[in-house]
A and B are shown apart, each in its own frame.
Chain A
Amino acid sequence: MTVASLAPAGRVLQRNLWVYRRTWRGSILGSFLTPLLYLTAMGLVLKQLVTAGTAAFGGYEYVQFLGPGILAATCMQSAVFESTFPVLGKIAWRRNYEAILATPLGIRHVLAGELLWIGFRVLSISSVFLVVMTLFRIPHWPFAILAVPAAILMGLAFSSVIIAFSATQRTGEGFSWLFRFVVNPLFLFSGTFFPLTQLPAGVQWVAALTPLYHGVALIRGAVLAEPEFLGPWPLHIGYLVGMLAIGWYTAHRLLKRRLLS
Chain B
Amino acid sequence: MPPSEEVLVHARGLTKRFGDFTAVNGIDFDVRVGEAFGFLGPNGAGKTSTMRMIACSSPITGGDLSVIGMDPRSRAAQIKSCIGVVPQLDNLDAELTVRENLLMYARYFDIPGAVARQRADELLEFVQLNERADDQVEPLSGGMKRRLTIARSLINEPELVILDEPTTGLDPQARHLVWERLYRLKQRGATLIITTHYMDEAEQLCDRLVVMDKAEIVAEGSPRDLIERYATREVLEIRVSDAVRAALDGRLETIAERVEELPDRLLLYVGDGEEALEAVHRHEIALESALVRRATLEDVFLRLTGRSLVE
Residue A104 at the chain B interface, CB threshold 8 Å:
yes
Residues of B within 8 A of A95 (CB): 89, 91
Main secondary structure of the interface of A (DSSP, over half): helix
Residue B302 at the chain A interface, CB threshold 8 Å:
no
A100 to B107, CA, bound (A): 10
Q: Which residue of A8, A15, A94, A261 is within 8 Å of B94 (Cβ)?
A: A94
List 17 additional contacts besides A18-B100, A99-B91, A99-B93; criterion CB under 8 Å: A7-B110, A11-B104, A11-B108, A15-B104, A94-B93, A95-B91, A96-B91, A96-B93, A99-B105, A102-B57, A102-B87, A103-B109, A104-B77, A104-B110, A105-B77, A106-B77, A259-B57
Could you tell me the distance in whole angstroms from the C-beta of A109 to the nearest C-beta in chain B?
Answer: 9
Q: Do the beta carbons of A103 and B80 come within 8 Å of each other?
A: yes
Q: Do the beta carbons of B100 and A98 come within 8 Å of each other?
A: no
Q: Do the beta carbons of B18 and A98 come within 8 Å of each other?
A: no
Residues of B within 8 A of A8 (CB): 108, 110
Q: Do the beta carbons of A104 and B80 come within 8 Å of each other?
A: yes
7 of the cross-chain contacts (CB-CB < 8 Å) are A11-B104, A99-B152, A102-B57, A104-B109, A104-B110, A106-B76, A261-B18
Residue B55 at the chain A interface, CB threshold 8 Å:
yes
Question: Which residues of A come within 8 Å of B, CB atoms?
Answer: 7-8, 11, 14-15, 18-19, 94-96, 98-106, 259-261
Could you tell me the distance in whole angstroms from the C-beta of A98 to the nearest C-beta in chain B?
Answer: 5
Name the residue among A18, A100, A259 with the largest chain B CB count within 10 angstroms. A18
The answer to whether residues A260 and B109 also contact, given A98-B87, A99-B91, A106-B76 and a CB cut-off of 8 A, is no
A98 to B153, CA, bound (A): 13
Residues of B within 8 A of A260 (CB): 57-59
Residue B187 at the chain A interface, CB threshold 8 Å:
no
Residues of B within 8 A of A96 (CB): 91, 93
A98 to B93, CA, bound (A): 11
Residue B92 at the chain A interface, CB threshold 8 Å:
yes
Residues of A within 8 A of B78 (CB): 104
Residue B95 at the chain A interface, CB threshold 8 Å:
yes
Could you tell me the distance in whole angstroms from the C-beta of A162 to the nearest C-beta in chain B?
Answer: 21
A15 to B104, CA, bound (A): 7
Residue on B nearest A100 in the bound complex, by CB: B108
Q: Do the beta carbons of A11 and B107 come within 8 Å of each other?
A: yes
The answer to whether residues A101 and B94 also contact, given A15-B104, A106-B77, A261-B18 and a CB cut-off of 8 A, is no
A100 to B80, CA, bound (A): 11
Could you tell me the distance in whole angstroms from the C-beta of A201 to the nearest C-beta in chain B?
Answer: 50
Name the residue among A14, A19, A103 with the largest chain B CB count within 10 angstroms. A103
A101 to B105, CA, bound (A): 11
A106 to B95, CA, bound (A): 21
Residues of A within 8 A of B93 (CB): 15, 94, 96, 99
Residue on A nearest B80 in the bound complex, by CB: A104
Proximity string of chain B (82-100) to chain A, C-beta cutoff 8 Å, 1 when within and 0 when not: 0001010101111110001
Q: Do the beta carbons of B58 and A102 come within 8 Å of each other?
A: no
A94 to B96, CA, bound (A): 12
A254 to B45, CA, bound (A): 28
Residue on B nearest A22 in the bound complex, by CB: B95
Residue on B nearest A98 in the bound complex, by CB: B91
A179 to B108, CA, bound (A): 33
Residue B81 at the chain A interface, CB threshold 8 Å:
yes
A94 to B105, CA, bound (A): 15
